[in-house]
């Protein structure tokens, strides 16, 4: 049976003091072993705090993006090797905010996914449609296109050690969650796409749902067959809210 993963994407939020409080609160609240894995994705400057406080605990951490180049004259960028230096095990790639605000194309995302794998990081590939695309009936074709770009570069083998997060853009930060049925339908579509290439990898692949997950809707979402956890934004910034999501399934 797959283990549920509850992951917190803090986006560009926090301060040193807040990060300390949040991580200590999460550690205090996760002392009892549970069937749920937890991960946090702080902004770059707080990765060192994560490493200090989380090393040797059951909570893993990662970054929100990476530059695919190993090193060089790329002012402001951070490489996979640097993330490894701070103990990261995971990295998000292709979050919709990276795609829309920073113009990352499907190909850019595929290159980042490949670079993460090559460095030994486990990429979390984020995919999802906008409201307009959903209304146009393009949800499956958009998700298919986003995943195909990565498959083309890294192959199905690349998903042996990767996670997919389905995050409908219209549900991110809006308080409007996809219904468990809506989310499950897309998750099943995604799983099926992988099954057609390798049913063992597809069966083991964790597909997270993201978009206004909270303590009240998590249990219903994660109970669905193909929803293996959540990528949580806003509700991962408060200890009680994030733990409520974990405890909804623990």
What mask, x for binding ligand 13P by CB under 6 A, covers residues 102 to 121? --------------------
Question: Tokens 């964790």, residue?
Answer: 206
Structure tokens given for 124: 């979390």
Dihedral sign (CA 102, 108, 109, 112): negative
The kind and range of the H/E element at 210 are strand 206-210
**Minimum Å distance from CB 66 to ligand 13P?**
16
Query: Quick one: 89 or 197, whose CB is closer to ligand 13P?
Result: 89
Instruction: Assign residue 88 a region (left: φ > 0; alpha: ψ between -120 and 50; beta: otherwise).
Output: beta
167 is catalytic: yes
Position among 211, 218, 229, 247 found at the interface with ligand 13P (CB under 6 A): 211
Does residue 95 carry a catalytic annotation?
yes
- CB 152, min distance to ligand 13P, A: 24
CA distances (Å), origin 18, targets 62, 81, 237, 242: 18, 26, 9, 14
Long-range contacts of 42-45 (CB under 8 A, 24+ apart): 42/10, 42/14, 43/10, 43/11, 43/12, 43/13, 43/14, 44/78
Of 159, 210, 243, 248, the one binding ligand 13P by CB under 6 A: 210
Active-site residue, from 90, 95, 97, 129:
95
Q: Is residue 173 a contact residue for ligand 13P (CB under 6 A)?
A: yes
Residue 227 touching ligand 13P (CB under 6 A): no
**One residue of 49, 143, 234, 242 binding ligand 13P per CB under 6 A:** 234
Q: Pick from 212, 222, 243, 247: which binds ligand 13P (CB under 6 A)?
A: 212
Map residue 172 onto helix, strand or coil. coil
Of 194, 233, 245, 247, the residue at the interface with ligand 13P (CB under 6 A) is 233
| Residue 80 binding ligand 13P, by CB under 6 A | no
Cα gap 104→90, rounded to integer Å: 19
213: contact with ligand 13P by CB under 6 A: yes
Which residues have a catalytic role annotated? 95, 167
Interface ranges with ligand 13P (CB under 6 A): 9, 95, 167, 172-173, 210-213, 231-235
């Amino acid at each position: 049976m797959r283990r549920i993963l509850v992951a917190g994407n803090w986006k560009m939020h926090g301060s040193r003091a807040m990060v300390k409080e949040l991580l200590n609160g999460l550690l205090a609240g996760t002392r009892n072993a549970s069937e749920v894995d937890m991960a946090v994705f702080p902004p770059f400057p707080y990765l060192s705090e994560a490493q200090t406080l989380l090393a040797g605990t059951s909570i893993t951490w990662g970054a929100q993006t990476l530059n695919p180049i190993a090193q060089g004259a790329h002012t402001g960028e951070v490489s996979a090797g640097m993330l490894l230096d701070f103990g990261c095990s995971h990295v998000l790639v292709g979050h919709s905010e990276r795609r829309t605000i920073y113009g990352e194309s499907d190909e850019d995302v595929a290159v980042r996914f490949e670079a993460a794998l090559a460095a030994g990081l486990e990429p979390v590939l984020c995919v999802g449609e906008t409201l307009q695309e959903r209304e146009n009936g393009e949800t499956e074709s958009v998700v298919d296109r986003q995943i195909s770009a990565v498959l083309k570069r890294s192959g199905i083998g690349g998903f042996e050690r990767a996670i997919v997060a389905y995050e409908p853009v219209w549900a991110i930060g809006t308080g409007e969650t996809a219904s468990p049925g809506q989310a499950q339908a897309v998750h099943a579509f995604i799983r099926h796409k992988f099954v057609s290439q390798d049913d063992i990898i597809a069966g083991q692949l964790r597909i997270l749902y993201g978009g206004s997950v909270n303590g009240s809707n998590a249990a219903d979402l994660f109970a669905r067959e193909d929803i293996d956890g959540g990528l949580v934004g806003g509700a991962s910034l408060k200890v009680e809210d994030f733990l409520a999501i974990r405890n909804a399934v623990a």
